[in-house]
Amino acid sequence: PAISGEDFYDWDKATSTLAAQAPLWEPGTASGYHVYTFGFLIGEVIRRITGRTLGTVFREEIASPLNVDFWIGLPASEDHRVADLVPFLPSSAATGVEMTTIQKITFSDTRTDVPSTRTRAWRGAEIPAVNGHGNARSIAAIQTILATGGVANGQRIMSEAGCRRALEVQIDGPDLVMRGISVRFGLGYGLPSPILSLVPPNPNTLFWSGGGGAFVLIDTDARMTFAYAMNRMHRGLVGDARSFRIIRAMWRALGMTP
């Protein structure tokens, strides 16, 4: 059954609903992008292993050691620092678009409207796939772990072999949620593929985008991380021209133009 809005603030309800749901297709035969459910699926595994929520594990084992200003489950003391999201206007091309059942379940039945993101309930909830709170500097600092082989802020957080596993291809082919676009995913990250309208100069590059245009790119060959965070949302599947202009300028400045 569809859950949305305040249902996502209830961790037990979200995870138990997922546990009871039958797969939409035979596992291993196809792939489809998870919007909200990715964080609950991984977070519940972490909770059962550690006895702590994903937000707590993230804070204690990553954010605090790296001294980064990023939260999954924002405390009320930080509310005054949050920039409100400015939603994009629906385009005429988007109205009346027929969606498959899988797309409807993924996008429509799990929708959160932008005004709800300005509430204490939303900010304080742990919805790991969509409501992390931070800025571009903190995002880049966290992803430095992968860019530099597991070491950040002078501390080893992961093994180098563990970091390299993110580059191992798990999925390569059409995505049933993203209208059949061909995608390549490693462990938890996108790999260069047609879905990304950039061609990174180095092959061992990871990336992903947040709704509205937020973007992170990790070049493990150059040991470099780029992050972009915005509050004015733009429509786009993966990133948009704003961050891409900066990325291309960065590559040119470093003599890395592909």
Asked if 192 and 199 touch (Cβ cutoff 8 Å), the reply is: yes
What pLDDT score was predicted for residue 3?
Answer: 73
Positions of E strands within the chain: 71-72, 132-133, 151-152, 155-156, 171-174, 182-185, 205-209, 215-219, 224-228
pLDDT score at 181: 86
Give the pLDDT of residue 90.
64
- Pair of tokens at residue 32: 């489809």
Q: What is the DSSP letter of 76?
A: G
- CA angle centred on 110, ends 188 and 105, rounded to 5°: 85
Cβ-based neighbours of 39, under 8 Å, separated by 6 or more: 54, 126, 127, 128, 129, 130
Report, as ranges of residue numbers, the positions in the chain whose pLDDT lies below 50: 92-93
- Residue 91's pLDDT is what? 53
pLDDT per residue over 191-245, tens digit each? 998 888 889 999 999 999 988 899 999 999 999 999 999 999 998 778 899 999 9
The secondary element (H helix, E strand) that includes residue 87 is: none
pLDDT tens for 83-100 read 999 988 765 445 566 888
